[in-house]
Amino acid sequence: MTEPRLRFHPDKSHRITFLTGAGISAESGIPTFRGEKGLWEEFDAEELATVEGFERNPEKVWAWYDLRRTQALQCKPNPAHETIAVLEKSGFDTAVITQNIDDLHRLAGNDRLIELHGNIWKVKCTRFCGVWEDRTAPYPHLPPVCACGSLLRPHVVWFGEMLDESILASAYMRLGETDLCVVVGTSGTVQPAAGMAGIAKASGAYVVEVNLEPTPISDYADESHFGKAGEILPKLFGEYLEQN
Ligand code: BJW
C-alpha cells in the first residue's frame, strides 16, 4: 500500500482550515455517533439530544452527559489532534472548525478553534443567566440547578436548535478565505456543518478528506484518504511540522 501524500503543498502564506467530526476522536476512545458501535445505535437521539427530550426528562439527559463527561476525563488527544496542533505551533495559518464537544483540540494545544456544537465542560442556565465552565464530573445531584433556581443544561447544540450566530459567522468567514480545507472524521450528515466543506470548495479551497470510508463529501473532495485519522494526518503533514 502506498503512503498517503498531499498533492497540495501548503506554505505559511496559505490558510488551512480543518473541519473535524467525531471520527478524529475515535482513536482517543470517544465514541462516534453513527455506524457500528455509534452512540445512536445504543441511545435515542430524540430523548437525549433535543430540547423536548430534556424538558421531558432532564435527569435522564443529565445522566447521559455525566457519563460522557466522566469518560471524556480519561481521554487524551491522539496523533491526529497533535498533528493539527503542531502545525499551528509551527507557524502555519491554521484554524479548526469542529463539531466535537470533547475539548481534545484545545487540550492538544490549538488556540484558533471554532466549536460549532458547544463544549461538554460548559453548562448554561435554562433561563440564560449565563454560560460557564465546569470540569467536575459527575454532579452530586441530577439535574444540577443554577443559583437562580432554574435547571442547568449542557452548553451543547441539540437537534432542532440554531447554532450560535457569531460562531457560525466566524466559521463562514474562515471558510470563505481558506486555501486548503481538510475534513476529518465526519459523516457529513448533520447540517449546517455538513455543508461547510462545500462552501470552502465553492470559495476556491482545495478540499482534502480523511475518513475510514467514503462520505457525501468524497463526491467533490479533491483528494480522499481512507483510513484512521491518527495514522493518516501525521503522514500527510509530517514534513511541515517543526519539532520544538
Ligand atoms: C473515522 C475514524 C477514524 C470513525 N479516523 N475517521 C429534519 C427535522 C429536524 C431537523 C432537521 C431535519 N433535517 C435537517 C435537520 C437539521 C439537523 C440535521 O442536520 N439533521 C440531520 C441528521 C438530518 N440539524 C440541526 O438540527 C442543527 N440545527 C439546525 O440546523 O438549526 C436550524 C434548523 C432547526 C430545525 C429544523 C431545521 C433547521 C443542529 C445539529 C446539532 C447536532 N448535535 C449533535 C449532538 C451535539 C452534542 C453532543 O455531542 O451531545 O452533534 S448530533 C451529533 O452529530 C453531534 C455531532 O457533532 C454531529 C455530527 O456527527 P459527526 O461528527 O459527523 O460524527 P458521525 O458519528 O456521524 O461520523 C463519524 C465519522 O468518522 C464517520 O464518517 C466514520 O467513518 C469516521 N471515523 N473513526 C477517521 N479513526
What DSSP state is assigned to residue 92? -
Whether pLDDT at 45 is above 80: yes
CB-based pocket (< 6 A), ligand 1:
21-23, 26-27, 32-35, 38, 49, 99, 101, 117, 156-162, 185-187, 189-192, 210-213, 215, 228-229
pLDDT of residue 244: 61
Pocket test for ligand 1, best of 191, 208, 215, 231 (most atoms within 8 A of CB): 191
Long-range contacts of 54-59 (CB under 8 A, 24+ apart): 54/153, 54/158, 58/142, 58/143, 58/151, 58/153, 59/142, 59/143
Indicate whether 138 pLDDT > 90: no
Q: Between 1 and 178, name the one with better pLDDT.
A: 178
Count the neighbouring beta carbons within 10 Å of the beta carbon of residue 100.
24
* 195, pLDDT greater than 70: yes
Please say whether the beta carbons of 146 and 127 come within 8 A: yes
